[in-house]
Chain A
């Protein structure tokens, strides 16, 4: 069974600084997708970044990048130049091909001004 573990219930970062959110997962498949979703206080789920497991290159979306370590089954999210609007709950999620999403427990990110 696929599982996703986020070991940091809460993280804090100073505005303009960099923060890394951790995620590990377990799957028996070789082909799958990984996602980071952001859930602000509005509770709307917003896709931050996604990574295909067959791609070795780490995905990047503006200030957001991932460190994908397939052998270690690790998928961390780095947020650079943190902004107040980045404050939210962040969920790591795994999807095996054609299957449903499995979410981690989430990490609350607080941004200090």
Chain B
């Protein structure tokens, strides 16, 4: 089945630094990937839609200059949290749709990244 690999699973960074999170589709091509943020015991909040070869589409209220998204290939999207602050500490999850195998309405999720900014 479709597999999405997300790396790193945990990261601790100092306030003011940047951190990059990678999301890879391992056995399918993903023209579209999605980035979510999740606080403890809360739902997934869509941050942005990442489109291969074009600019990401950000949800209302999400700072595009803080959360940089790059989708340079059909199997890789990256989320960079720039100038991180403690309030950016959260769980970040990516997902992708596998359109090639008939599972054309299913989403596969990465295992998530726990970001802690100290």
Contact of A43 with B43 at beta-carbon distance under 8 Å, contacts A52-B105, A95-B105, A101-B34 already known = no
Is A59 an interface position by the 8 A CB rule?
no
In the bound complex, what is the Cα–Cα distance between A43 and B36 (angstroms)? 13
Q: Which of A91, A100, A106, A108 has the most CB of B within 10 A?
A: A100
In the bound complex, what is the Cα–Cα distance between A106 and B46 (angstroms)? 15
Interface size class of B (residues with CB under 8 A): 10 to 19
Which chain A residue shows the least CB distance to B93? A45
Interface of A is mostly: strand
B68 CB to nearest chain A CB (Å) = 20
User: Using an 8 Å CB-CB cutoff, how does the interface string of B38-70 with A read, 1 for contact, 0 for none?
Assistant: 100111101001000000000000000000000
* B43 close to A100 (CB less than 8 A): no
* B111 close to A101 (CB less than 8 A): no
Contacting residues, chain A, for B111 (C-beta < 8 A): 42-44
Contacting residues, chain B, for A108 (C-beta < 8 A): 41
* A100 close to B44 (CB less than 8 A): no
Contact of A43 with B112 at beta-carbon distance under 8 Å, contacts A33-B105, A103-B43 already known = yes
Is A105 an interface position by the 8 A CB rule?
yes
Contact of A91 with B44 at beta-carbon distance under 8 Å, contacts A43-B112, A52-B105 already known = yes
Contacting residues, chain B, for A101 (C-beta < 8 A): 34, 46, 95, 107
Is A47 an interface position by the 8 A CB rule?
yes
Contacting residues, chain A, for B93 (C-beta < 8 A): 43, 45
* A47 close to B106 (CB less than 8 A): yes
* B43 close to A104 (CB less than 8 A): yes
* A89 close to B41 (CB less than 8 A): yes
Which chain A residue shows the least CB distance to B38? A43
Contacting residues, chain B, for A35 (C-beta < 8 A): 107
Is B91 an interface position by the 8 A CB rule?
yes
Residues on A facing B (Cβ under 8 Å): 33, 35, 42-45, 47, 50, 52, 89, 91, 95, 100-106, 108
Closest 9 CB pairs of A and B: A45-B109, A33-B105, A103-B43, A105-B43, A103-B44, A43-B112, A44-B111, A106-B43, A100-B46
Given A44-B109, A89-B41, A91-B43, 5 new contacts (CB under 8 A)? A35-B107, A52-B105, A100-B49, A106-B41, A106-B43
